Structure 1
Amino acid sequence: MRRRALLGGISEAVIGAATIGATAGCTSVIGGEPEGVVLDPQEDQIADSEDLGYPAYGEPLPPFELRDPIAGVTVDSEAIDRTAIVTGVFTFCPAECGILLRRLVAVQRRVADAGLTDETQFLPITFDPERDDEAALRDNAESVGVDLDAGNWRYLRPETPERAKAVVEDRLGIGFERTTESDRLQGYDFTHTVLTLLVNPDGVVERAYRGETIDRDRVAGDVETVVEGFADE
């Protein structure tokens, strides 16, 4: 398949703030519908894609290159030829991120049961590279039940907090802000948007799920539909 060229929860106020600097563009539209998508328009999307501060239905995933410190490889988003799940997290998160990651693990298992492991990629990106080193990411994988041996789950770690902001917030529209000093969280906390993107093998967003309590069956079903749609091409 030809990969198309790509362009370089908390409150609605935080999501709106992430609009500034978001770099997602629009795909070609014929008859009011975007090209290059498998799924129907997302009924629970809160606004038109071009009015949101993150890449949404029918828009290209902004490009990035980030290191997977566990596997020791660099992932280039423009080279991914699988159906991908992309989100932003930090593993010291006391609530939302753990809930989200466990639900994505359930999706990973269902994908495996469907025999689609090789056609999918899970890409949680940490926006806390100061604490989320290889050891912390491995500990998180064990804690939430990730199957790292499956080869379709890669924790991505920007080199610096500045790089994390450039990719996670400015490009992907997943807003976050370092806030409270907390001994319980080893120094500080974050307020952050909880957003998960389903991206097809051509790099186009099929779904943008908001919040940590994503419907595992819905997400897994959407993944399977996109994989099957591209298998038919």
Structure 2
Amino acid sequence: MQRRAVLGGIAAATTGAVAGCASVLGDEPEGVVLGPQEDQLADSEDLAYPAYGQPLPAFELRDPIAGVTIDSEALDRTAIVTGVFTTCPVECGILLRRLVSVQRRVADAGLTDETAFLPITFDAERDDAATLRENAETIGVNLDSGNWHYLRPETPERAKAVVEDRLGIGFERTTESERLPGYDFTHVVVTMLVNPDGIVERAYRGERIDRDRVAGDIEAVADAFAAE
């Protein structure tokens, strides 16, 4: 599996469509480890975000806590990618806590160094390094493991360009909210499991992801690449 060959020349698009990708219900596309995702909402090419068998659109974003920039094309790990904001009163907190449980399961399986958790905030104004670190402490993220990176676009415009336009995770800033003073977001909740060649193996919808299922999928993909 050649990551650069797969990703080279693929343009990011809000539809997440890629010419030649197989339907989730049809033939299995090249470059995947897992079988078709039976609970996927539609064929991959019909979804707004990259799904089963499609390449993850390239991005470079800063981890303000670790002080490093993550280049998605340079990743050689099985990755979990999602879009969140830490003051989210419901969905993001549930999702992030479940991903923390997955991080622990991955550690128990001895696969910490083979995985990367990449929650991308689309709230560039409030989610600075201090806020993200506080969130990590609150929900129990193991930052010392080196496999969890909160990624922060520099501006709201950059957040829209990467999270919504490129990754297809739609969000909309709202004004004064009964749930949250100042402003809130309505947003899609989707989490992508991406193999080390940059191909999406799973796109889990909703915040209440099955932690055992996700950890098992990660282990299957990581083990398959380790065996090559």
**What TM-score, normalized to structure 1?**
0.91
Secondary structure of 1:34's counterpart equals: coil
Secondary structure at the counterpart of residue 3 of structure 2? coil
Work out whether residues 84 and 120 of structure 1, in 8 Å CA contact, stay in contact via their aligned partners in 2. yes
2:202 aligned residue (184, 200, 207):
207
Matched, 1:21 2:14: yes
Q: Given the superposition, is the C-alpha separation of residues 39 and 27 from structure 1 closer, same or farther in structure 2, using an over 3 Å criterion?
A: farther
Q: CA deviation at 1:21?
A: 2.9
State the partner residue of 1:230. Answer: 225
Q: Where does residue 124 of structure 1 map in the other structure? A: 119
Matches within 5 A, 1:24-63: 24-26=17-19, 32-63=27-58
Matches within 5 A, 1:188-207: 188-207=183-202
- After TM superposition, give the deviation of residue 22 of structure 1 in Å: 3.3
Q: Runs (4+) of structure 1 moved beyond 4 Å?
A: 26-31
- Residues 190, 231 of structure 1: alpha-carbon distance in 2 compared, 3 angstrom cutoff: same
CA spacing shift, 1:51–1:184, aligned 2, 3 Å: closer
Paired with 2:19 and 2:77, the residues of 1 have a C-alpha distance of 21
Q: Distance in 2 between matches of 1:201 and 1:225?
A: 12
Q: How does 1:33-112 map to 2 (within 5 A)?
A: 33-112=28-107
2:82·2:120 contact (CA, 8 Å) conserved in 1? yes
The separation in 2 between residues aligned to 1:145 and 1:26, in whole angstroms, is 41
TM-score by length of 2: 0.93
Aligned-partner SS, 1:61: coil
Tell me the SS of whatever aligns to 1:164.
Answer: helix
* Structure 1 counterpart of 2:135, from 133, 140, 157: 140
Amino acid at match of 1:61: L
Q: Deviations over 1:29-57 (max 9, x none)?
A: 59822000000000001111011111000
Aligned-partner Cα distance in 2 for 1:64–1:187: 29
Q: Distance in 1 between matches of 2:172 and 2:105?
A: 33
Aligned-CA RMSD value: 1.8
Supply the distance in 2 between the matched residues of 1:38 and 1:206 (Cα, whole angstroms): 7
For residues 3 and 201 of structure 1, do their structure 2 counterparts lie closer, same or farther at Cα, with a shift above 3 Å needed?
Answer: same
Q: Deviations over 1:127-158 (max 9, x none)?
A: 00100000000010011110000000000000
Instruction: Please give the per-residue CA displacement for 1:57-78, whole angstroms capped at 9, x wherever unaligned.
Output: 0000000000000010111000
- Distance in 1 separating the partners of 2:22 and 2:218: 23
Structure 2: gaps (5+ residues): none
Superimposed CA distance per residue, residues 158-188 of structure 1 (whole angstroms, 9 cap, x where no aligned partner): 0100110011011111100001314863410
Count, aligned residues: 222
Secondary structure of the 1:74 match is: strand
> 1-side partners of 2:187 and 2:142: how far apart?
26
- Post-superposition CA distance 1:4-25 (Å, at most 9, x none): 34223xxxxxxxxxxx833452
Other-structure match for 1:172: 167
Residue in 1 aligned with 2:3?
Answer: 3
Structure 1: 5+ residue stretches without partners = 9-19
Partners of 1:62 and 1:222 lie apart in 2 by: 21
Identity among equivalent positions (%) equals: 78
